Amino acid sequence: MRYRVSALLVATAMALLGYRGLSAPQAGAVRLAYINSNEIIAQTPGATEAQATFEREMARWNSEVQALADSLQEMVTAYEQQQIMLSPERRQERQAQIQQKRLEFQQRTADLELVAMRRQRELVQPIYERISNVLMQIQAEGQYTMIFDAAAEALVAADTTLDITSVVIERLRAQEGGGGGSAN
């Protein structure tokens, strides 16, 4: 269903814009191109390093969460083994302790998820900005009316000569080598 809706939207947009085919550019002609953002991100300088940094940090956070989960499970297991021998008051006390430990676990897990989301955004934001800047430059230089993303699964079929993924990757690599990765 998603393909059909996206294809219908593209067709409607092209019709409304007065699509005249993809022959030589004419004044007012619609120029289209597409990219594969997954391929671009995978090959953008710095993306692999950012991913490795994020995975190292996630490993530490996952270790902390696992230690908390293990501690909670040990508490539950000990309670289950001893509950028959406990007085009703002591049972309630231990259940309250377990509940408190569960709440602490859930809160710490939620906190770490937020930290992870923020850190991932911190690491990838500069990469996305560089990609966006390059795409805007290419769009302006090539006078493209629209640039689609094949990774978004909105393209049903396309002429491979309209694929500018390699141009974007080359431009990003040139920026990294010549300008220290800064956008123009």
Task: State the DSSP code for 163.
Answer: B
What's the whole-model pTM score? 0.61
Reading the block at residue 128, the tokens are 């996305």
Report all structural domains of the chain as residue ranges with CATH numbers, in order of start: 2-179 (3.30.910.20)
Q: What is the pLDDT of residue 64?
A: 94
Q: Kindly give, in sequence order, each residue whose CB lies less than 8 Å from that of residue 18, ignoring residues fewer than 6 positions away.
A: 28, 30
Q: What is the pLDDT of residue 153?
A: 79
- Report helix, strand or coil for 32: strand
Give CA–CA dist 9/5, Å, rounded: 6
Give CA–CA dist 173/184, Å, rounded: 13
Give CA–CA dist 117/150, Å, rounded: 25
Nearest to 37 by CA among 145, 159, 172, 176: 172
- Any idea of the CA torsion for 100, 93, 63, 112, to the nearest 10 degrees? 0
Q: pLDDT, tens digit, for every residue of 98-132?
A: 999 999 999 999 999 999 999 999 999 999 999 99
The answer to whether 181 and 45 have CB atoms below 8 angstroms apart is: yes
Q: What is the pLDDT of residue 170?
A: 93
Nearest to 122 by CA among 35, 46, 39: 46
Residues of the chain with pLDDT under 50: 1-5, 7-9, 11-24, 180-184
